[in-house]
Amino acid sequence: MFGLTARSAGFSPIEAIAFSVIVFAGASQFAAAGMVAAGFAWPAILVLTALVNARHLLYSAAIAPWLRNQSVLKRAVMAHLLTDESFALASVHFQRLGRVDPTGYWIAAIGSTFIPWNVATIVGVLGGQFIPNPRVLGLDIVFPAAMAGLAVGLSHGRREVAAAMAGVACAVLIGLLWDPRFGVVIGGVVGPFIGLAVPAGPRPTTALGAIATDRDEGLPS
Amino acid sequence: MTTGLVGLAVLMALATYPSRAIPLLAPGFDRLPARALEYLRLVGPAVLASIAASQIFVNPAANGSGPSFHVGVEWLAVGVCVVSVAWRRSLLLGIVLAVLIVAGARGLGLAAA
């Protein structure tokens, strides 16, 4: 979809591919393509990019405890590959295992996200001329459906469900009253507070949850 | 072939990288209090659900008008995907079903393309 969008915004194939390789952040890439097409100045695009991608701070903080034993260089590369999809896939994988799996992170970040995203960009920007309206094929639903499905995959208790539902409420309300991009960030910040206000269910089975529980009980981490 | 926007891509990456990297590279994030770790554990479901909701419930501002509430077949498609993941634990199946629902509805003229 980004390749098609970039093409319609006037990007050359090299520019579209550069966005997907160097920026590698879908929502801000779409937003930037729209702003470039509308003639916005670069500083405005950069401010929006920083705001839209502020949610990565939350992802990075959430996944940092899992990756604390990786080398600085590896974590620096892992950071560039941190996206909605790689975060969700890696988090579900780590929680399922109950421990960190660096190979799983690379597979999620590169094999399942970076390569498909860039291949799709190339296909979209080069082959877009043959698909006049991709919405007819329903391809625009892939992104929100994947996000919703991954949220379900991360929800194992009432706190997660409460956080997700509160996030949805914030995203819709703020999105309607202000801007959908800010709605996402505010939903991601406020939702977990609502989740924390809900009584916890059974003892968490995930490593991150176990770390938190052990700290509660004064056990060594 | 133009390459002028490659520079913008580099600057956008520089604007994005700190939020991705600071918690991963700064010392101390693994020694956060239990309450903070529990908060971070809840960030994923909240953010991902927020992204999905903003995509299917909110039409972004366009042509001088503000954002508006969206009602459409996308609700059904994402709902089916959610049920599929919760029931069958299959994200791929959920996405395929969502695409088929939206493409079918638009193909039959039941929803705007």
Chain-chain contact of A144 with B56 (C-beta, under 8 angstroms): yes
Closest partner residue to B19 (CB to CB) among A36, A54, A175 is A54
List chain A residues with CB under 8 Å of B101: 138, 141
Interface confidence (ipTM) of the complex:
0.83
Select from A159, A154, A162 the least CA-distant residue to A200. A159
With contact defined as beta carbons under 8 Å apart, do A13 and A125 qualify?
Answer: yes
For residue B69, what pLDDT is reported? 92
How close is the nearest chain B Cα to the Cα of A53, in Å? 6
Distance from CA of B59 to the nearest CA of A (A): 8
Task: Give the H/E segment covering residue B107.
Answer: helix B91-107
Which residues, in sequence order, are bridge partners of residue B65? B62
Segment among A66-80, A119-133, A192-206 with least mean pLDDT: A192-206
Nearest chain A residue (CA) to B103: A138
Its sign, for the CA torsion B82, B42, A186, A21, is negative
**Any chain B CB within 8 A of the CB of A96?**
no
pTM of the shown model: 0.68
pLDDT tens-digit readout, B35-71: 877 887 787 788 889 888 988 999 887 777 889 999 9
A146 assigned to some structural domain: yes
Residue A131 lies in a domain: yes
A184 with A170: CB under 8 angstroms? Answer: no
Of the candidates A110, A106, A142, the one whose C-alpha atom is nearest the C-alpha of residue A124 is: A142
Answer whether residue A167 is part of any domain. no
Cβ contacts of A152 on chain B, cutoff 8 Å = 82, 85-86
> How many domains, in total, are found in chain A?
1
Q: Is residue A221 part of a domain?
A: no
Please tell me if residue A25 touches chain B, with a CB cutoff of 8 Å. Answer: yes
Q: Is residue A76 part of a domain?
A: yes
- Which residue range forms the structural domain that includes residue A64? 2-157+201-216
Query: For tokens 């992104």, what's the residue?
Result: A143
**Average pLDDT of the residues of chain B:** 87
Pull the structure tokens for residue B65. Answer: 């008008």
Q: Which residues contact residue A76 at a Cβ distance below 8 angstroms, ignoring those fewer than 6 apart?
A: B21, B24, B25
Residue A183 lies in a domain: no
Q: Does residue A119 belong to any structural domain of this protein?
A: yes
Domain assignment present for A61: yes
* Segment of A136-150, B39-53, B66-80 carrying the highest mean pLDDT: B66-80
B65 φ, ψ (degrees, to nearest 5): -100, 155
Rounded CA gap, A20 and A114, in Å?
8
Closest by Cβ to B38, choosing from A67, A155, A196: A196
**Strand (E) or helix (H) holding B91:** helix B91-107
Which residues of A fall within a CB distance of 8 Å from B94? 145, 149
For A28-62, how does the pLDDT look when each residue is reduced to its tens digit (9 = 90+)?
Answer: 787 677 678 767 788 878 877 786 677 788 889 88
